[in-house]
């Protein structure tokens, strides 16, 4: 039994070693954006894909900040925060989205390739035990399903795919640091 455990441990170690070295070689082979920009500027042919801003930067939502008003499911169930300042969304021009999830913080990527269209990556968040109303997890879980938005009466409405829910936000003034 000890022989099989030892053999298994060796196989796992070898597979992990090869996996990490393969990833490392791929990263080493890929030129960094700063190197490409430097090479492009030396030759006078910078790659526009490398130096152009991300798609999100051109969006009307880039650089905006919002507080949650409510989440409304299509069965008309509503979840309204007791304190909307504890549930926020900031959409940075660099394609990062930052969220306040009650006592936790979250981060995701976002992209809006055309007006009315938006999508988010999965939300990574801290995992403190909050004394909340259970809204934080529901709020964070919505983002991976968001596919479109509407701006109406200064409010932002995010719609999830298959019309699962509408997430309504009101604007907040951003504090410059």
pLDDT digits (tens, 9 = 90+) for 124-136: 999 888 886 779 8
Which has more confidence, 136 or 26? 136
Question: Which of the four pLDDT bands, split at 50, 70 and 90, describes residue 89?
Answer: very high
Count of C-beta atoms within a 10 Å radius of residue 146: 19
Query: What is the longest distance spanned by two Cα atoms in the chain?
Result: 70
Q: Is 50 exposed, middle or buried (0-12, 13-18, 19+ CB in 10 A)?
A: middle
pLDDT of residue 27: 40
Q: Rounded distance, CA 42 to CA 27, Å? A: 23
pLDDT digits (tens, 9 = 90+) for 37-63: 434 434 444 443 333 334 555 689 999
Query: pTM above the 0.75 mark?
Result: no
Q: Where are the beta strands (DSSP E) in the chain?
A: 64-73, 78-79, 87-91, 96-101, 104-111, 119-120, 124-125, 146-152, 155-160, 165-171
pLDDT of residue 109: 96
pLDDT of residue 104: 93
Q: What are phi and psi of 116, to 5 degrees?
A: 90, -10
Q: What tokens were used for 61?
A: 């939502």
Contact 171, 156 (CB under 8 A): yes
Q: What tokens were used for 137?
A: 């997890």
Q: Give the end-to-end CA distance of the chain in Å, rounded to a whole number.
A: 61
- 169: left (phi > 0), else alpha (psi -120 to 50), else beta? beta
């Amino acid at each position: 039994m000890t022989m099989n455990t030892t053999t298994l441990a060796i196989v796992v170690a070898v597979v992990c070693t090869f996996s990490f070295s393969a990833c490392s070689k791929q990263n080493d082979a890929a030129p960094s954006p700063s190197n490409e920009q430097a090479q492009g500027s030396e030759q006078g042919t910078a790659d526009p894909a490398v130096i152009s801003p991300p798609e999100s930067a051109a969006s009307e939502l880039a650089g905006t900040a919002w507080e949650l008003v409510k989440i409304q499911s299509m069965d008309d169930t509503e979840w309204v925060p007791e304190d909307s300042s504890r549930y926020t969304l900031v959409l940075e021009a660099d394609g990062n989205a930052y969220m306040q999830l009650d006592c936790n913080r979250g981060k995701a990527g976002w992209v809006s390739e055309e007006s009315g269209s938006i999508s988010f990556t999965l939300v990574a968040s801290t995992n403190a035990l909050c004394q909340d109303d259970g809204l934080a997890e529901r709020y964070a879980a919505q983002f991976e399903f968001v596919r479109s938005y509407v701006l109406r009466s200064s409010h932002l409405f995010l719609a999830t795919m298959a019309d699962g829910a509408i997430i309504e936000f009101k604007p907040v003034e951003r504090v410059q640091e």
